[in-house]
Chains A and B, each alone.
Chain A
């Protein structure tokens, strides 16, 4: 086996491992941030500062009894969480998280810091996300419970509606960058503009596409079923939505998928709009620090939003998606197309 292949396998294994960990860390982060916002302490008993809480949660989830409703469809009932988790992991495969690296001179040729480089990477993410819907729909249907079914239906209706705006805001960035590969989109954002000849502004697409960024983030919240768009799980109405009937590790898979999806959406928006691993002060080979920092900031924003904003009403959500977000995304795309042609980029 050549060194490059081993390095690539290490990168893939590392990506998988970190995603797995991110779910655990984010659960702790969510609880701590929530506690901070609500002036509580949050978890503090397990380990210093409650840092071991995720471990305790995992052990608890694994020890719990696996329950299944009597009239559930056994095969689909167990397939659904697997689909959800698989889609969540698979989507990250085409997301780059740093510049090509030789691991500080360890390798002769640089490897790409991503599981696999596909030249239609953005579309792959889009495709895998749309597969994730099936996990939720099937969970809702196979449980054979009214709460689950309603949660599953709501969730899929929401995801399908917001996928349109999501895709259109992506398309505007694709036009600017002229490529479908996330790596190349990030590379197109290297360097600075100089405002008035002096003030340097990084060439991030958020400055060219502020509306696109807003649409992408909003649709991203809806895609990941997070508050204020967390209708699939609206506790007051639906108990827990599509995963009402799930317990133990099957529930843990849904839970994990939600957090990993959050990381993926944040990572993709960092790559698309916030310049990926490009940033001031740090050399190129340490760019992944910038990347992690930006993803962390976005994830924090997500959690902040969840504990600050109340849930929308369902018809408001649909109205907002179809009557505001979609026209705005279309307009954004048309204007971008016009400018791109006019400027001849």
Chain B
């Protein structure tokens, strides 16, 4: 039974993720990404980690994707025009494009290497104690004892990002613009 669900969720996830890249309409890309996240949350449930599953939905599918959706809706990019490559606003020229292609190759190599390593390691199915390990209590203890520093550092990082975003988006007439400096 678990195996059936695993393959179902996995298939939905892979297909949805592929379609995210293949869509011409960014709105559909965002929605397919949500589908992919939902399937991932299903996988967490199969791994006896309901807390992770729900948090995955709340944070990724709920909070972050709503912001994505907002950006797509407000920018009103209806469809990505095909063909007319030279008229694209984000045309970056051949040099950066080659650099990007190189990065993609590096990523692919890394992925293959990582997947091979996983294939070598024995697969340990979620045992009866998995529920205890993934309970909110256990996760809370781990997060605030063993990984307290990482946790706090992340929150500082998010604060920095937030302040940065505010400064970038702000158009205060009293602040000197770049030209005046």
Contacts and interface: CB of A to CB of B under 8 A. Distances in A.
B61 interface: yes
Contacts of A149: 73
A277 to B, nearest CB: 24
Contacts of A131: 57, 61-62
A134 B66 CA distance: 8
A73 B78 CA distance: 11
Contacts of A130: 57-58, 61-63, 66
Contact of A133 (B27, B51, B54, B66): B66
Dominant SS at the B interface? Answer: helix
Contacts of B31: 76, 134, 138
B69 A137 contact: yes
Nearest to B51: A120
B136 interface: yes
Given A130-B63, A131-B61, A156-B66, A141 B27 contact: yes
Nearest to B131: A119
A127 interface: yes
Contacts of A138: 31
A153 interface: yes
A126 B51 contact: no
Interface string A80-105: 00000000000000000000000000
A134 B58 contact: no
A168 B61 CA distance: 19
Interface residues of B, number: 19
Contacts of B74: 153
B159 to A, nearest CB: 16
B55 interface: yes
B69 A134 contact: yes
Interface in A119-147: 119-120, 123-124, 126-127, 130-131, 133-134, 137-138, 141
A180 interface: yes
Interface string B78-108: 0000000000000000000000000000000
Contact of A153 (B54, B55, B62, B73): B73
Chain A interface helix/strand/loop/mixed: helix
B147 interface: no
Contact of A123 (B34, B55, B66, B69): B55
A217 interface: no
A127 B57 contact: yes
A127 B58 contact: yes
A118 B135 CA distance: 12
Given A126-B58, A180-B136, A156 B27 contact: no
Given A123-B51, A130-B57, A130-B58, A160 B73 contact: no
B41 to A, nearest CB: 8
Contact of B73 (A73, A133, A141): A141
A118 B50 contact: yes
Contacts of A127: 54, 57-58, 61-62
Contacts of B135: 119
B73 A120 contact: no
9 contacts: A76-B27, A120-B51, A123-B55, A130-B63, A137-B73, A153-B73, A153-B74, A156-B66, A160-B63
3 nearest interchain CB pairs? A130-B62, A127-B57, A123-B54
